[in-house]
Amino acid sequence: EAGVTQFPSHSVIEKGQTVTLRCDPISGHDNLYWYRRVMGKEIKFLLHFVKESKQDESGMPNNRFLAERTGGTYSTLKVQPAELEDSGVYFCASSQVNLRLYPYNEQFFGPGTRLTVL
């Protein structure tokens, strides 16, 4: 079974430019999460989709960040315009929505996209 995949693995952009990150969750996983880790700090929650609906976007830093999950499959996270403080590693994770498994719904993480804003 394929794991969570993310694209690109690295992105280097200049301040003011736009970047779009993509996440493909494990097939059949309705829960999709975005997290971010800024260098040396903790992994911080950004938002949570259940299928195509935003369940919780309380962690989104500001309106420069836009996440979508059209059709309830892959998700994109767009940063526009990018600022220096947006640099970090962006992780995507997915899990099943299955009350028979709950609460053992472990989240499976992708390898992350390392974003550098110069």
Partner 1 sequence: QQPVQSPQAVILREGEDAVINCSSSKALYSVHWYRQKHGEAPVFLMILLKGGEQKGHDKISASFNEKKQQSSLYLTASQLSYSGTYFCGTAKGNAGGTSYGKLTFGQGTILTVHP
Q: Is 39 in the site for partner 1 (CB under 8 A)?
A: no
22-40 as b/e: b if 16+ CB within 10 A: ebbbbeebbbbbbbbeeee
Q: Is 61 in the site for partner 1 (CB under 8 A)?
A: no
Q: Stretches 11-19, 37-45, 65-73, 75-83: which one binds partner 1 (CB under 8 A)? A: 37-45
Q: Is 56 in the site for partner 1 (CB under 8 A)?
A: yes
Whole-angstrom distance, CA of residue 5 vs CA of residue 90: 12
Q: Is 55 in the site for partner 1 (CB under 8 A)?
A: yes
Closest distance between partner 1 and the C-beta of residue 52, in Å? 16
> Three-state DSSP class for 14?
coil
Give the phi and the psi of residue 103 in degrees, each rounded to 5: -95, 20
Among 33, 86, 88, 90, binds partner 1 (CB under 8 A): 33
> Three-state DSSP class for 86?
helix
Q: Is 107 in the site for partner 1 (CB under 8 A)?
A: yes
Q: Stretches 17-25, 33-41, 63-71, 77-85: which one binds partner 1 (CB under 8 A)? A: 33-41
CB contact set of 77 (below 8 Å; sequence gap of 6+)? 20, 21, 23, 34, 46, 65, 66, 67, 90
What residues make contact with partner 1 under the rule CB under 8 A?
3-4, 31, 33, 35, 41-45, 48, 55-56, 59, 91, 95, 99, 102-112
